[in-house]
Amino acid sequence: MKGLKQIIVFFYVFIITLSLAACTARIPEKEPSNPEQSRPAPVEPEKGQENEAPVQDGNKDKTGEVDLKEIKANENGQIMILMYHSIGDKEEEWVRTADNFRKDLNVLYEKGYRLISLKDYIENNIKVEAGYTPFVLTFDDGAKNHFNILEENGEKKIDPDCAVGIIEEFKKEHPDSGSGGTFFIYYPIPFRQKELIREKYEFLIQNGYDIGNHAYTHENLGKLSIPDVQKALAKNVMSTQEYLPGYDMYALALPFGSGPRGDNYKYAVQGEYEGVKYNHRAVLKVGSNPAPSPANVKFDSARLPRVRASEMKTAGVGIYDWLQYFEKNPGKRYISDGNPDTVAIPESEAENVDMSRLDGKELVIYK
Ligand SMILES: [Zn+2]
């Protein structure tokens, strides 16, 4: 009898192990070899804690106007944070041509993607229309071709082939395309036109863009002492606030994708130098895969992955690889229910929602 009991217990443990393995199965992370990215998997929530919302009988949303099943609403799906570097004349691994950037915006728009800010993503304040998918734009290094101002006949105008010029033109042509975009800059001369730094910063924040930290002079944070990490990050904040007093630099993109090692990683998130504090509620890595929904149990604002906005040498981690992936796997894609006060998900996603991140929003589960 005792032997039989042991066999039964063993069998149950085996089944539970198998189902846990199935829960955690997800798309392979095709990350480049980078010590920063070899971290332990996020902790799964304890079973039974996460799903307290009743499953709806019908498929309608709270207003009764949106058929959640028909639009395949999934606000626990993945979101692409696109990573651009230069916008230039010749396509290279870290350079996108102006025309290819225009193409990216067009393709995303046609496929139902709408631009949101990085802040709205991390704060789960996503306001795209029902049936659409949010995405985030990021630009590293504060290149001149990100934001270039030309002077013609004594008048200043935004270079139509720089990133800001292209986005502004696109928004004019497509008023429902959304807005946002974070420029991760370093010093001494972000965007490389010294006398125009303030003017550019003011334009950016007035038009829905953000300025992000990329260390003071693009230091490799993985190679610095902890005091020097804090100095490199706080000095960027100090310099930015000289132009924009009190500006909240809530985001950091790790230069070279490299952060302080081990427990010291926390200094990428928070720290202080000469009385200036920084508090990065978003820390972005170098690309390779889409990011989880801000409501997902795998969401980690200190380690956000990005997708490379490139078609060269992407080895399956570029923007078009992931667009194709979402076409083949529509269930993995974040699809909005159109209501920022609810998080609508199919029943199959219920165990992957982090209830602590709903922040007053109502979880709506449909069959
Ligand atoms: Zn960089």
142-188: pLDDT as tens digits? 999 999 999 999 999 999 999 999 999 999 999 999 999 999 999 99
pLDDT confidence band for 133 (50 / 70 / 90):
very high
CA of 213 to the centre of ligand 1 (A): 10
Helix (H) or strand (E) holding 81: strand 80-84
Round to whole Å and give the CA distance between 146 and 144: 5
Residues 6 or more apart whose Cβ sits within 8 Å of residue 117: 136, 179, 180, 181, 182, 208, 209, 210
Look up the pTM and report it.
0.85
Q: What total of structural domains would you count in the chain?
A: 2
pLDDT tens per residue across span 308-357: 998 876 678 899 999 999 999 999 999 999 999 999 999 999 999 999 99
**66 and 83 share one domain:** no
Is residue 228 assigned to a domain?
yes
pLDDT at 28 (0 to 100): 36
Is residue 6 assigned to a domain?
no
CA of 11 to the centre of ligand 1 (A): 51
**111 and 254 share one domain:** yes
Encode 330-356: b = buried (16+ Cβ within 10 Å), e = exposed.
eeebbbbbbbeebbbbbeebbbbbbee
Q: Regarding predicted confidence, which is higher, 50 or 322?
A: 322
Q: Using an 8 Å Cβ cutoff, are 298 and 42 in contact?
A: yes
**210 and 179 share one domain:** yes
Task: Compute CA distances 335 → 44, 81, 160, whole Å.
Answer: 23, 15, 32
CA of 111 to the centre of ligand 1 (A): 29
Is residue 11 assigned to a domain?
no
Let me know the angle formed at the C-alpha of 59 by 54 and 60, rounded to the nearest 5 degrees.
100
pLDDT at 269 (0 to 100): 98
Round to whole Å and give the CA distance between 31 and 317: 8
pLDDT tens per residue across span 18-28: 333 333 333 33
Is residue 5 assigned to a domain?
no
CA of 256 to the centre of ligand 1 (A): 6
CA of 140 to the centre of ligand 1 (A): 5
CATH number at residue 306: 3.20.20.370
Q: Is the pLDDT of residue 299 over 50?
A: yes
Q: Which residues surround ligand 1, an ion (CB under 5 A)?
A: 140-141, 255
- What are phi and psi for residue 50, nearest 5 degrees? -90, -25
* Residue in the block written with tokens 């060269």: 312
* Residue in the block written with tokens 């709205």: 120
Round to whole Å and give the CA distance between 37 and 256: 12
**262 and 357 share one domain:** no
Is residue 328 assigned to a domain?
no
**67 and 141 share one domain:** no
* Choice among 53-57, 100-104, 208-212 with the minimum mean pLDDT: 53-57
CA of 49 to the centre of ligand 1 (A): 40
**119 and 139 share one domain:** yes
CA of 69 to the centre of ligand 1 (A): 41
CA of 24 to the centre of ligand 1 (A): 32
- What are phi and psi for residue 138, nearest 5 degrees? -135, 145
Q: Using an 8 Å Cβ cutoff, are 75 and 296 in contact?
A: no
Q: Using an 8 Å Cβ cutoff, are 205 and 211 in contact?
A: yes
pLDDT at 53 (0 to 100): 61
**270 and 146 share one domain:** yes
pLDDT at 55 (0 to 100): 66
Q: Is the pLDDT of residue 60 over 90?
A: no
CA of 142 to the centre of ligand 1 (A): 9
Is residue 139 assigned to a domain?
yes
Q: Is the pLDDT of residue 15 over 60?
A: no
Q: Regarding predicted confidence, which is higher, 293 or 45?
A: 293
pLDDT at 359 (0 to 100): 86
Q: Which three-class secondary structure string do you get for 188-237?
A: CCHHHCHHHHHHHHHHHHHCCCEEEECCCCCCCHHHCCHHHHHHHHHHHH
**277 and 365 share one domain:** no
Is residue 16 assigned to a domain?
no
Residues 6 or more apart whose Cβ sits within 8 Å of residue 200: 147, 149, 190, 191, 193
pLDDT at 101 (0 to 100): 98
**142 and 230 share one domain:** yes
Is residue 167 assigned to a domain?
yes
Mean pLDDT of 248-266: 97
CA of 115 to the centre of ligand 1 (A): 22
**91 and 111 share one domain:** yes
pLDDT at 7 (0 to 100): 44
Per the structure block, which two tokens stand in for 34? 């980078």
What's the domain range around 127? Answer: 79-319
Q: Using an 8 Å Cβ cutoff, are 165 and 158 in contact?
A: yes
Q: Is the pLDDT of residue 3 over 80?
A: no
pLDDT confidence band for 54 (50 / 70 / 90):
low
**350 and 202 share one domain:** no
**291 and 355 share one domain:** no
